[in-house]
């Protein structure tokens, strides 16, 4: 059994378009306007059971079952209050999209309300014309409810259940056969918030419940396999694709772990230290889609983990520790920081989340 919660992380810098809005005097833009980092996880519960038995003829009976449930929340891309299509503008940010409430009511697009045109110059809407829109109940701009733009957030309560049972055996000739039955189900209860439905205009809510997605499967499998080696060259791969495949993961990767027990009175305290090394590598997205074959090679890093475990009572242990305890990141990618607000590679081999620190209570049953 495992239970936990994890706060969201932010590894972001301000987007260039959001910084330009702030420089133009928009005081409603958040900093950062768009967050890159790990999701927030609440009530993260995992239950798992596993069993197996080896028979006299070399066959193995096996099975496992699990149940998992958690609530996850993550942000989307930032909606710029001057340029977001079909919400704030229809012409790429030259003018604001202004809704005519009277036209919406009678269904005739004849400009009944006489709403002014709000031009945008140097990231700043015409303040006099915009004030007229705000003062007229028959004119509407989404800048009235989100003057600094907005970043939608997506949340879901996810529940997964599965069970597998089967029998397998490897023959003397090297073939492996495996017969099994499995059942799995997934349910996701979705929630969208801090967003709009542009078609509803001023009547749009900010939070939405898109509904529940459910799926269940029952599978019966019989597999026969043997090992072989196949190589294939493809003319469909460009130089950037080849670079991503060859250098997308570090060529060199190693780790050293030291586990030391220390007796403190009647208790034994366990110390665990792990040192990882990840060699140089290339960002997949950069190599495949942005700079392609010119994507720079990112330097390798040493990553250190530490954990201390202390027994509290019989069969119950408290562990406190951290992964990547020195909060180490990859090389900064200035091009991605300016374009996407993401200063570090999302394909970092040791993860984008930085340092992760935890306290874990472990209890052993059935002894």
Q: What is the pLDDT of residues 157-187, one digit of tens each?
A: 999 999 999 999 988 888 899 999 999 999 9
pLDDT tens string 133-156:
999 999 999 999 999 999 999 999
Is 344 exposed, middle or buried, given 0-12, 13-18 or 19+ CB atoms closer than 10 A? buried
pLDDT of residue 346: 82
pLDDT tens string 318-329:
999 999 999 998
* pLDDT band at residue 361 under the 50/70/90 scheme: confident
Q: In what order do the strands lie in the sheet with 40-54?
A: 2-6, 40-54, 60-75, 153-170, 176-193, 208-225
pLDDT of residue 307: 94
| Distance, CA of 66 to CA of 61 (rounded, Å) | 18
pLDDT of residue 11: 85
Domain boundaries, the chain: 1-77+147-228, 99-144, 237-367
* pLDDT band at residue 366 under the 50/70/90 scheme: low
pLDDT of residue 231: 40
Question: Which region among 7-11, 70-74, 208-212 has the lowest average model confidence (pLDDT)?
Answer: 7-11
pLDDT of residue 230: 40
* pLDDT band at residue 367 under the 50/70/90 scheme: low
């Amino acid at each position: 059994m495992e239970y936990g919660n994890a706060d969201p992380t932010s590894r972001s810098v301000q987007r260039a378009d959001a910084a330009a809005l702030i420089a133009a005097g928009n005081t409603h833009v958040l900093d950062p306007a768009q967050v890159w980092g790990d999701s927030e996880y609440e009530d993260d519960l995992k239950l798992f059971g596993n069993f197996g038995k080896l028979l006299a003829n070399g066959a193995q009976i096996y099975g496992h079952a699990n149940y998992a449930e958690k609530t996850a929340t993550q942000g989307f891309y930032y909606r710029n209050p001057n340029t977001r299509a079909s919400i704030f503008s229809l012409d790429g940010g030259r003018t604001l999209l202004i809704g005519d409430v009277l036209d919406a009511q009678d269904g005739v697009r004849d400009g009944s309300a006489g709403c002014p045109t709000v031009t945008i110059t140097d990231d700043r809407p015409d303040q006099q014309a915009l004030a007229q829109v705000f003062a007229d109940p028959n004119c509407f701009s989404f800048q009235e409810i989100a003057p600094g733009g907005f970043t939608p957030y997506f949340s879901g309560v996810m529940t997964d259940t599965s069970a597998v049972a089967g029998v397998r055996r490897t023959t003397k000739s090297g073939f492996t056969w495996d017969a099994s039955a499995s059942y799995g189900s997934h349910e996701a209860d979705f929630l969208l918030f801090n967003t709009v439905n542009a078609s509803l205009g001023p009547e749009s809510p900010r939070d939405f419940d898109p509904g529940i997605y459910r799926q269940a499967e029952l599978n019966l499998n019989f597999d026969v396999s043997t090992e072989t080696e196949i190589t294939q060259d493809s003319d469909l791969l460009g130089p950037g694709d080849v670079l991503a495949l060859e250098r997308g993961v570090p060529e060199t990767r190693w780790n050293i772990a030291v586990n030391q027990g220390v007796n403190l009175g009647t208790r034994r305290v366990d110390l665990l230290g792990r040192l990882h090394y990840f060699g140089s590598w290339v960002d997949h997205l950069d190599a495949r889609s942005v700079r392609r074959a010119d994507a720079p090679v990112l330097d390798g890093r040493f990553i250190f983990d530490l954990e201390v475990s202390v027994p509290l009572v019989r069969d119950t242990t408290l562990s406190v520790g951290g992964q990547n305890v020195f909060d180490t990141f990859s090389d900064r990618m200035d091009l991605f920081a300016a374009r996407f607000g993401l200063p570090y590679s999302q394909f970092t081999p040791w993860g984008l989340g930085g340092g992760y620190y935890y306290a874990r209570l472990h209890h052993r049953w059935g002894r």
